[in-house]
Amino acid sequence: MDQVVNWFVNSACNLPCAYCFRERDLEEKGTEGMLRLVKVLGKNKVKRVTIGGGEPLLRSDLERILAALKEEGIFVSLHTNGTILKQRIKGLRGLVDILSLPIDSVEEGENQQMRGRPYVGLIEEIMGYAHPEFKLAFKTTATRVNWASLPKIYDLVRQVPFDYWKVYQFRPLNEAQVYDSTFALPDKTFEGLRAELSGLADRRIQVVNRKEGHQPYVFLDNQGNVSTVHPDLEQNIPVGNLFEADLEAIGGCIDAIYGEGSSWGFARKVRINWRSPENWCLVKERGEGTFRMRVVTATRYDDPRLAYFSDD
């Protein structure tokens, strides 16, 4: 499967980033359970996995998990805040294809406000000892706090031949909703920032606004639960479990949510127009008439716009 799986291997973190959307208190899974999940990913022919958290390096068994992913022939991108990377860097050799680091400002006051600590010196140190052995990438969250200084980050990251620099407009996703008033950046301001960054004429710079952030991502937790981003709302939607269904079937459900395709296997994926009593739906497939189908698997919301159905 070409789809990137974003695997949150833990929820624990050693930084108090004020705008973070991570899930808190996710159930941890022991090493053997994690390795079983790696086997499931391999069985599902997953080719790329992005490792995140929390802070993944807080897991003492991370190297074993990464080694198992590489044994399955999986491309690994590790997203880390970098604070404890130096202690673990030797063990990551040969296990990580891209090392992705956060940098939200070259102004330490802004870093303090957003991440709770100075950051420029840390990033410079990592670039010094990780390059050229590791391919580096960077990511930035553009907020009301730091947007004006963001173009200066380019002078920092281009000191090494980085793979990409992604600049995301702040989104109040999940836990981050409580910080919307503090960090939300108006669309017009962000698009002005996009234009300024485009003027740098570097194709490695990728700018993603709030709307563009609503993509059919595949998020995986340690229990095998898969979720994706709601097409409209700033929240994730649970869509299945890898221990109960294969990823292609779950991907079909995600396609349904985003309206891509009209059929998959023995099931149909259709847009809900109205939900009737007794768990029946009146639905309309593209260009076709209205008919009845019974819900097989649906999102865990009272009024799902979309679901996964089987003919009955």
Tokens representing 252?
């079909």
pLDDT in tens, 179-212: 677 899 999 999 999 999 999 999 999 999 998 9
d(CA 10, CA 62): 10
Given a contact cutoff of 8 angstroms between Cβ atoms, the answer to whether 204 and 245 are in contact is no
Residue given tokens 């340690």 in the structure block: 222
Instruction: Specify the pLDDT at position 159.
Output: 96
pLDDT in tens, 215-242: 889 999 998 988 888 777 777 878 888 9
Tokens representing 288?
């076709």
Split at pLDDT 50, 70, 90, the class of 111 is very high
d(CA 299, CA 307): 6
* 7 vs 237 pLDDT, higher one: 7
Instruction: Specify the pLDDT at position 215.
Output: 86
Split at pLDDT 50, 70, 90, the class of 51 is very high
Domains of the chain: 5-208 (3.20.20.70), 218-310 (no CATH)
* 174 vs 138 pLDDT, higher one: 138
Mean pLDDT of 292-301: 37
d(CA 308, CA 116): 42
Identify the H or E element spanning 239: strand 236-241
Split at pLDDT 50, 70, 90, the class of 20 is confident
Split at pLDDT 50, 70, 90, the class of 161 is very high
Residue given tokens 């022919």 in the structure block: 45
d(CA 177, CA 23): 12
Identify the H or E element spanning 36: helix 31-43
Res. 10: pLDDT tops 80: yes
DSSP string, 1-21: --SPEEEE-----S---TT--
Res. 258: pLDDT tops 80: no
d(CA 66, CA 74): 9
Res. 279: pLDDT tops 50: no
Instruction: Specify the pLDDT at position 176.
Output: 54
Whole-model pTM?
A: 0.83
Res. 83: pLDDT tops 80: yes
DSSP string, 255-299: HHHTT--SEETTEEEEEEEEE-STTEEEEE-TTS-EEEEEEEEE-
Instruction: Specify the pLDDT at position 277.
Output: 33
3-class DSSP string for 61-83: CHHHHHHHHHHCCCEEEEECCCC
